[in-house]
Structure 1
């Protein structure tokens, strides 16, 4: 009995890549939950197709088929051979039955499959043997009304898990041995792709040599980014004058934009991720470990401890940027007490630009600190710097930090004293110009006396009131 095939290329089919050889289609549909369950899965874009190798056994985890977009064509190929003339070549007839736009494939991990088996000892020709019996009917009731199941006792205890593995997806992570180890220890780490180009990032140590020229990939990227010769020459001139720079100082001195500077700097200098010159860019070929003058360019990490009265001036760098770019802040008068957020130096008569400032010691423009740098004794010939403190004494950064904090405290103290004095002077009532019995000279003398007494009393009040205000800054 032949079956007629309908040739309709526009008819759409669903493709299920069954992981097995199908002999009986009905049994195959039974492992997939039946035609009803298959129809529910095909009608939903989120559900996964379940494949149970033992449909009647509840003690196994199904293998899940995931839906993927896949284009396919269903073909009907008919081959006709000549019965009498065997040497005549066969004829092929190809017809398109339809197409498919998605496929269900079982590529996930298959969990362990458990069977409720009971071991029964028996003797066979005098030899001890064990017989395994499929005891599904003894482990669960056949119906909700099967009360006899709860009356009879079980000869064996059967505890099988429903799930063995937590996940069924293949982990595609690559593992590597940690490069810091000598290879003798089996230490594994996940190999993740770096989110930035690390050609110019160098870890500071006392053994390795520092790079003397840029990587070829960096120079190639420099040409692609269309950096002008004038911009490159400006940054190169800065590195010729000084071998070590901060990023914010390069932006300020060169006037080159951030996007162009990201391409120029790696071709001229490398970046220290740790050590005495961390977060700084060092010119290729310059070794700060061998130059005693590089102490002026070591990193000074200053973090301002906040107290009452300080937070209204100094913000974090992110908040300061948002405040500067906001339209409402443009209308407000800018405080002259705080440095500009893009200013790379620390002046004696200004507050720092943000809560945390990464500076070089030469960027701290306080004469006392610069004199301390000059008075450091020159090391002996052949001496090398320290891996943690560089060319500076161990407690040098703490002394500099105390001096900077004291400078900020004096600056804030004088600012608040000035504000209090101005407020007190404005609050003093003026003498009545039409007061009888007093001439103008007597009124002026009385006003000068009242002003001097008010200023003296307000100075004493301010000194006692704000003395406690700045203790947390210098602590």
Structure 2
């Protein structure tokens, strides 16, 4: 057993293990404390249970009292047994030796001073006896304490009946006379007069730990507040309509006067103005490009906050050639042939190279959007959508600026023909495959390069002859090959999955969007830039 003496520990620590209970009250005795914990049987039952929660009742005799539950936590303590050893043998011997001397001296003193001498002797004896006993404190280490129960919840509240039997007896009220006429012949349902029927509610408290709750606003609002709510409701209605608009819709959304809904000079107003200026530069933006441009200006937003700012000035289609690109409110790309330069294309990593995508998806350092558009790094996603206008490639920029021969904008290829769009997609694939950082892509790059050259010759041939001839359309399909057909089919299937997943994500996020910025909303959060 370990011993603590004079501030030093000696001996060995015991191997016995125990647990402690931090009792939240001041029980009168140890037995009473054990009784509030359910007795020894209740403690053993709690230790053997799966939850291992210890129940405590301040009034174990009252079955209606609300119990508290102690949670078991790990600790690293020791159980000490403190003893106090008195060393008063020498002191008692000295006092016994001096008592006879004091009595003999009293007899030898003169008769004129007996009272003074006796008083003096008595004081000396009292001083000797009243000296504090010298004591040594010693602490023995009994056991280790590795676990302890803590009671953090409220324990002293219960459902108190308005009429209680004990209170009734103290007030000398006759329950049979006051209440029995309301019952049948047997009175209190054949119960004794000392008993009172107790009907407890099934649940009168949901929590035993105090928490701050947000109460609903008062129903009596001022007229100004009601007008603000009506304006806010209208803006939210317009925002909700901007989520995943069908490409075949007749009329697109008009511009929102967000300047009237946000206080000028506020942080939210400055952020919304920065996003609005981007759409003044060009009408259609990918979300990744918007985030990077704002980041370069020193503005960092969370994904949800960026969507909120975009919904104030833009909308997007759920499908079509501008899929998931944010379009300025009031601008309809289906009626403007010049919008063809803002259409989308994509790059899908071939199945043979998907292992690179799987190993680099979880990396924290992800390439910048501008580096991807300028073909400086290889994409880390299996499929990435790009805007033709942002791709740094002379061939692509030359092709998208040629006059369109399509009379209308269709939902599949937009203002381009299918051959031109396939040729642009192959050009993007050739540029990225030439950047693949690992060996093994040479054969795939060669196949894509051959397909690109065939597709380019097909586009030239289609421009030189009458585009209405059906035989040329069949020839163009043969040039692209079966592999390209399978790729387009898988791309279309994946686009449909992306549409469904992202549309559900947007609708879930809309529940927290608030363009006007209510008073109960927290400060503008700029925590991260989603690229």
Query: Given the two structures, how large is their TM-score scaled by the length of structure 1?
Result: 0.41
The answer to which structure has the higher helix fraction is 2
Structure with larger RCO (C-alpha < 8 A, sep 6+): 2
Larger Rg: 2
TM-score relative to the length of structure 2 = 0.37
